[in-house]
Amino acid sequence: MDWFVVFLIAGAAIAVWRIIYNVRNTSKSSEDDWDARMIERLRRSGVDPFKPVDVDFFVAVPTQEKAESIASRLRAEGFETDIRELRDSVDQSWSIHALKTLSLNVHAVREVSSRLRQLAEEAGGRYDGWAPGPGKPIS
């Protein structure tokens, strides 16, 4: 009877570990899956994935100083940037628009998204995602 209890406890521990492991992996991949789905939609709508296109990235931060700091760092990394005040937002009242020309492949977009997410978190802000530049269809 004692071995049965030990096996039962071990089995429960393994099940709990698998649940936690799967939940963590799902939460990490959900942000990246959005990038992959968006790129697939753009490819289906006729955008050539091998031809570089303008991609707009957006970050919101609480202060103008933090926005200017991030914009300066992004310009040094080859982005074109502009900053706008968001009058309707209480906690994230400044927006950074960063434009970069790149090929629409999942690796490149995930890399930029990860970098911008990191900068936003450091500044107490949030990364608001990306969209193809003007004139690019989204179906």
pLDDT tens per residue across span 71-101: 999 999 999 999 999 888 778 889 999 999 9
Specify the CATH number of the domain 1-139.
3.30.70.970
Contacts of 35 (CB under 8 A, 6+ apart): 106, 109, 110, 113, 130
Q: How far apart are CA 136 and CA 47, in angstroms?
A: 8
Domain ranges of the chain: 1-139
Is pLDDT of 58 > 90?
yes
pTM above 0.75, yes or no: no
Rounded average pLDDT over 104-118: 91
Residue of 43 and 120 predicted with greater confidence: 120
pLDDT of residue 59: 95
